[in-house]
Structure 1
């Protein structure tokens, strides 16, 4: 089955996906902690039997038993060289179960089992190859569909989709993300952003599976439906897991869960199935509710969509005018250029923060300085900017290799600047645009700028033809209609306006400009280019690369949008104008009072200027800047600020205790409230680590270094997920704990042996799979049964407070941001249990003063 055939079938009817596999295999004798994937070759009849039950229950699509059959995950069982054998056997087992019935085989691909860079060790391209290797084995074995599932990291999902599409452009692909009860992934991606990115990267069906029950998936599905033109797929758990009589169970019965299927279908779901806790009985009831019936269609507003990891933005007709901040650019900026030569990102971060706070809707990132490794520096800049803002980015370079590095480092869907009508460059760049699912700026000029609008439009049409050759739709292209200094070519402005009109109305594409070019070389530049901007917006201009924090420009955009159909009900203009008008009245009143002699000293009118604009407020001191740098994950900026603080006479221990420590605690609080996410935690922890590295020799010399306690970390036997655990280790080390991370799939005996060897006070256990949760209880039972002095803390996506209480854990970490406070509390509460020769010094005192 190819993509077109699959799409046609989904347009006409709802297909039923199967349910859980793991629990069935355990009931048939799968040992605890053993890889289910290996049973494809060792116990094929058991696999076939489970598949057949689902086919008989009405499943139209069977997921192969290959969720963990990729190189890294099989490597945990010494089978990394058996990827092709195991995946081929799994496909054959599914085919045997189907027999002569009309059902499809979907090759199942789960997460890689580790974390991608920058948060982990796995390079993006290596992840792509790992997913491609499994996809190649599945495609060669004859699957009808590929299903990528249970992904919470948008970067990893992109790697998986790219890997599959590198193998086959024709196999249909279902792409499932997994969400928390907050409606976000653990890395902070909302449903709309995921839908846009997954569609652009080549998915044929997008959706959600695992983690939560059907109630919490309803809103996620509805939000996805408004952000994509693709059909949706839904695979909920049978509720959230609970402990009953020492067993992990899912509380929602089949008759409670099945009625949700109709609600999913009404929101645009064309595929409905079940995940953890569901059985053939669940699938039978779901099939009777919605199987082979029509479903609602999804819909997405037209235009060019770009995203960050957690925010999406539309550029096009009727959308709010998009201001793209131009400041991250070395042109004409000596100090900025020097920072880039030195490999520093502090000024980049500063400009990104200022523009985001000043109202920019996207940011252009350009680091093109002669004799610099631009590819490496652009990647570094893109990573740094992500830590301080969630705005979508325009990745900007004349160097195609640099563009690819910058694109690869960005978790969302960037706008790439740019492609021109020269075929040699286009044939090199457009495959990269297609592979990574980017949007792209098309230049309406080659080496020389055409004078006439009609010639610029011809260049645009040439670019669209080349895009079509590479499978890139016109909705992915935003055309730069070219602005020329009015001082040099007065007639050119009218041609630019006409180019905008033709491209928006006749080609149906979005448009942009580099705005400041038009006023180059003449006085009162803001007046000139803002006047031109108003005319361009009237002609249909959708966006501009500009000084997005300029108050006059923002007023011009708001006012012009009233007449261009971009501000229904004048709401945006009123939201901008009312507080501004009130502020101006206050300012005028103060000035009038001053003139009348009623005030001797006039303060800055209205207090600080808007954040991000020149001269805003009082300059921050080193402590405040260091606090900001840690919270924002500015790893490059922190060491210099620490050294500056030391040079100013700050005490090393004071910097550690009263600046770095509360800053990272604050970041943990933001994580706990859903305002920051795992990537931010990793970046901030790395930033603090960089600062501590500067302080450590001084702290050791002064005798102020002490370990709070020793912690053993491990993912339990049978589970090979370690993303959350790795971050926990990073956070604990930053707070003075001695951490020994044993890795993944760790047997009980190894955990206890390491705890004895290192005289650990705390054992931290992680599990992400419901089938491995009870291994945590085994460890706790052994610790208690043997009278060992350790306390045990548990965590992981499937764990809950009630589960922790039932298995008698000493601590439970809901989020990785909680673990430091929990570990400190455990040390204080259970101090009498720890060995006398272990560290029994009091925990480092809390900060003596509030955070800056």
Structure 2
């Protein structure tokens, strides 16, 4: 289709395919995507009904058409997608067709087994087929993991020229399942170059409105919203929605008036809903939004806005002048490097710089390993620091978030190598004020180099706010007069170019005694000149005190609250590796350091500490602490799972070193299954990981499991606690039937249920004993049930 999308006007998507198939009698266990082949006339009819209702874009019936979800079916990905796109294309005529791509349904590393490349390959297969068959748009939707969304977006952009839309699904707490908040979602997705982003599924339109604030404020690209038809209810074993088409359209109109321009419906919506939305949109015009431009780096769960206070970039993971870092890199001691990141985070760093540049190793391989490990352990954004473009690209490709690239300079060769990488992966980039002539002495000349870097970056499509300028600190021992020029250059660059600035502070003191005094004084001068993000050692007390004091004097620390608190707080032991301060097994587990947990557990066993004492005094308290932090929202699912897996490593060590009768642990069996007709098991898989790491014996029957198969396993293994999962509204009835069969067999067995469409009230209505709103709740239920 040659017609182009008009982003200046409304773009109206269709509603729910699953709801329509349910209304047409789809049976439990039937694969919705199979209807493209088995009942093509029905799929075409549904598409036409949405076209007649007034939608501009119809979505192919391919939400779960990936190789992972289809592996147990006789249909291939190519068959399903080919048929789906052709049917949609036939029904659409002059309207647009969006290739629908949903989550793979498997957890990604580090808290699952699916690698980034495997996820990419799965999505790439879908994209290639959809593009070849004539789709107009790639729609990546209902994503709960920003890392998986990144894999899907790269696969879409690298394997087709089509526009890419991406929507994520948020929970009631305003975050995705893996902890991504709306600002981080915007920061990462628009950096990757999507043509539209937003929210779909999970909630009704009224509930979604409060979650749109940051998206509306920070998104430079059009915003897409596809809510459910309100929150589902169960009446007479049937799932219904509590919002009428008129009410839905009224709320969508309110969302449109806030600034969203791409709209539609998700679960529970039908052509009647879309028809009412069309009428509502035709009565108004799109509104212009005031987008706030920020310089921001992000991890998968946290965004650091540079320029709103002082951003500390931790410099310690750099082999220059650091023998222990060099030795760790040579020996592949990733754990040591990860601890360096953790101690900098604990000392107040906001971003962690990573440099693995020594000639004795494969820098690219090492940088990727370090990046993967550190991003799995801490929530801070990372700065990828290398002189080799291939090393930078390898790391930022697998990075979960929006990283900083350190660095580019004013040489044409450098800019032509680095800027395409920064643009492709949506990274911030640090520009060094040097070029073919070297580092200019005068501040005005450094401004000229900075201007050249900014202009070239913009020519590559990199926004000015995504470039940070480093005015380069020269050593006072060799070029004393240049120090003032470095400070002067900061002010000039900020005033003339309006970009943020950074500086490697400690460079100034090389070759002189009492370096810490010079560094602190120089830092104070630079901060006063407008330095935004100093690259420093956050464990240096003088440096920390300078920043703390500056924040008070510059009104960043309102009422000096942080400053006063820091003076009153008792100092806690640091992770400072140079001081060899030993941490307890509990503290190691809290950080998720699986390598150290094995070593520490063996040490305790060698010291004749009993197995149950290790479990009771270290393992369980550590998990309880992490669980409480998770419930408070201080950490998120990835960190929760990392700590749980660290505990599992401890259990493995205990089992290896003890006789079978020495460790007295009950066999607490729990059966898990996603019910018949539901092929979404990511939530169940998370529950499984946590339960196993708490020491439970989990029997996982997988997804799309018939009630008779669940009952047979319960009978065979004499299981008393069963966990059932359902994500789709269409399979809640199947869950109820399974509960009825289980209770008929054994009234004493207890059943906990979970899933996106469930809540406490629904669980009671279908006969469940417990409702687990998340994986952590499932663990609590299990521990209570088994009196642990």
TM range (shorter): over 0.9
Q: Does 1:411 align with 2:397?
A: no
State which drifts further: 44-53 or 695-704. Answer: 695-704
Q: Distance in 2 between matches of 1:674 and 1:44?
A: 46
1:654-700 CA-partner distances (Å, limit 9, x unpaired): 11222112212332333334333221222112211111111113443
Q: Does 1:140 align with 2:120?
A: no
Structure 1 residue 727, shift from structure 2 partner: 2.3
- 1:270/1:295 contact within 8 Å kept: yes
Q: Distance in 2 between matches of 1:267 and 1:549?
A: 45
- 1:358/1:610 contact within 8 Å kept: no
- Equivalent residue, structure 1, for 2:757: 798
Q: Does 1:717 align with 2:676?
A: yes
Matched residue of 2:69: which SS?
helix
Q: Distance in 1 between matches of 2:228 and 2:569?
A: 53
Q: Does 1:609 align with 2:605?
A: no
Residues 113, 457 of structure 1: alpha-carbon distance in 2 compared, 3 angstrom cutoff: same
Matched residue of 2:190: which SS?
helix
Q: Does 1:343 align with 2:339?
A: no
Which residue of 75, 83, 87 corresponds with 1:93? 87
1:787-807 CA-partner distances (Å, limit 9, x unpaired): 597543322222222222222
State which drifts further: 512-521 or 730-739. Answer: 730-739
Structure 1 residue 480, shift from structure 2 partner: 2.0
Structure 1 residue 808, shift from structure 2 partner: 1.5
- Equivalent residue, structure 2, for 1:268: 259
- Equivalent residue, structure 1, for 2:318: 329
What is the 5 A alignment of 1:545-556? 545-554=535-544, 556=546
- Equivalent residue, structure 1, for 2:733: 774
Residues 312, 2 of structure 1: alpha-carbon distance in 2 compared, 3 angstrom cutoff: farther
- Equivalent residue, structure 1, for 2:29: 33
Structure 1 residue 190, shift from structure 2 partner: 0.7
Q: Does 1:56 align with 2:42?
A: no
Q: Does 1:284 align with 2:275?
A: yes
Structure 1 alignment gaps of length 5 or more: 584-605, 828-842, 847-852
Structure 1 residue 86, shift from structure 2 partner: 2.7
Give the RMSD, CA atoms, in angstroms: 3.0
Residues 181, 621 of structure 1: alpha-carbon distance in 2 compared, 3 angstrom cutoff: same
Q: Distance in 1 between matches of 2:19 and 2:25?
A: 10
Residues 387, 620 of structure 1: alpha-carbon distance in 2 compared, 3 angstrom cutoff: farther
1:6-27 CA-partner distances (Å, limit 9, x unpaired): 3xx333x333222111121122
Structure 1 residue 74, shift from structure 2 partner: 2.6
Matched residue of 1:764: which SS?
strand
Which residue of 692, 713, 727 corresponds with 1:754? 713
Residues 32, 661 of structure 1: alpha-carbon distance in 2 compared, 3 angstrom cutoff: same
1:495-544 CA-partner distances (Å, limit 9, x unpaired): 32344344333344332111110111212323323333333334443221
Q: Distance in 1 between matches of 2:616 and 2:320?
A: 40
- Equivalent residue, structure 1, for 2:148: 156
Residues 299, 692 of structure 1: alpha-carbon distance in 2 compared, 3 angstrom cutoff: farther
Structure 1 residue 185, shift from structure 2 partner: 0.7
- Equivalent residue, structure 1, for 2:187: 196
Which residue of 224, 228, 250 corresponds with 1:237? 228
Q: Does 1:118 align with 2:110?
A: yes
- 2:557/2:563 contact within 8 Å kept: no
Q: Distance in 1 between matches of 2:2 and 2:380?
A: 36
- Equivalent residue, structure 2, for 1:213: 204
Q: Distance in 1 between matches of 2:294 and 2:206?
A: 32
- 1:14/1:293 contact within 8 Å kept: no
Structure 1 residue 346, shift from structure 2 partner: 4.2
Q: Does 1:130 align with 2:119?
A: no
Residues 200, 326 of structure 1: alpha-carbon distance in 2 compared, 3 angstrom cutoff: same
- 2:408/2:432 contact within 8 Å kept: yes
Residues 467, 33 of structure 1: alpha-carbon distance in 2 compared, 3 angstrom cutoff: farther
Q: Distance in 1 between matches of 2:160 and 2:305?
A: 30
1:807-832 CA-partner distances (Å, limit 9, x unpaired): 222333221112233224445xxxxx
How many residues are matched? 787
Residues 127, 425 of structure 1: alpha-carbon distance in 2 compared, 3 angstrom cutoff: farther
1:109-147 CA-partner distances (Å, limit 9, x unpaired): 111121211121211122112212212222222223221
Q: Does 1:310 align with 2:301?
A: yes
Q: Distance in 1 between matches of 2:202 and 2:458?
A: 39
Structure 1 residue 356, shift from structure 2 partner: 2.6
- 2:19/2:270 contact within 8 Å kept: no
Structure 1 residue 336, shift from structure 2 partner: 4.1
- 1:699/1:705 contact within 8 Å kept: no
Q: Distance in 1 between matches of 2:283 and 2:131?
A: 26
Structure 1 residue 212, shift from structure 2 partner: 1.2
Residues 322, 570 of structure 1: alpha-carbon distance in 2 compared, 3 angstrom cutoff: closer
- Equivalent residue, structure 1, for 2:346: 357
Which residue of 672, 677, 684 corresponds with 2:636? 677
Q: Distance in 2 between matches of 1:268 and 1:572?
A: 33
State which drifts further: 57-66 or 228-237. Answer: 57-66
Q: Distance in 1 between matches of 2:632 and 2:521?
A: 43
Q: Distance in 1 between matches of 2:250 and 2:773?
A: 30
Q: Distance in 2 between matches of 1:570 and 1:481?
A: 23
Residues 544, 2 of structure 1: alpha-carbon distance in 2 compared, 3 angstrom cutoff: farther
Q: Does 1:109 align with 2:101?
A: yes
Q: Give TM-score, length-normalised by structure 2.
A: 0.92
- 1:344/1:636 contact within 8 Å kept: no
- Equivalent residue, structure 2, for 1:509: 499
Q: Distance in 1 between matches of 2:530 and 2:564?
A: 26
Residues 573, 308 of structure 1: alpha-carbon distance in 2 compared, 3 angstrom cutoff: farther
Dislocated runs of 4+, deviation >6 Å? 613-616, 618-621
Structure 1 residue 638, shift from structure 2 partner: 0.8
- Equivalent residue, structure 2, for 1:10: 7
1:685-729 CA-partner distances (Å, limit 9, x unpaired): 221111111111344355224343222322223322222222222
1:410-432 CA-partner distances (Å, limit 9, x unpaired): 32111121233455555554443
Q: Distance in 1 between matches of 2:283 and 2:358?
A: 59
- Equivalent residue, structure 1, for 2:70: 74
Structure 1 residue 453, shift from structure 2 partner: 4.3
1:220-264 CA-partner distances (Å, limit 9, x unpaired): 112211122222111111222221111122222223322212321
- 1:558/1:573 contact within 8 Å kept: no
State which drifts further: 791-800 or 241-250. Answer: 791-800
Q: Distance in 1 between matches of 2:224 and 2:252?
A: 11
Q: Does 1:434 align with 2:423?
A: yes
State which drifts further: 626-635 or 298-307. Answer: 298-307
- 2:611/2:663 contact within 8 Å kept: no
Q: Distance in 1 between matches of 2:322 and 2:577?
A: 18
Residues 152, 530 of structure 1: alpha-carbon distance in 2 compared, 3 angstrom cutoff: same
- 1:228/1:298 contact within 8 Å kept: no
State which drifts further: 681-690 or 259-268. Answer: 259-268
Which residue of 591, 596, 603 corresponds with 1:644? 603
Which residue of 731, 734, 745 corresponds with 2:693? 734
Q: Does 1:398 align with 2:408?
A: no
Matched residue of 2:469: which SS?
strand
Q: Does 1:692 align with 2:644?
A: no
Q: Distance in 1 between matches of 2:457 and 2:75?
A: 42
Structure 1 residue 324, shift from structure 2 partner: 0.9
- 2:675/2:706 contact within 8 Å kept: yes
Structure 2 alignment gaps of length 5 or more: none
Structure 1 residue 187, shift from structure 2 partner: 0.8
- Equivalent residue, structure 2, for 1:598: none
Matched residue of 2:370: which SS?
helix
Structure 1 residue 162, shift from structure 2 partner: 0.8
Structure 1 residue 637, shift from structure 2 partner: 1.6
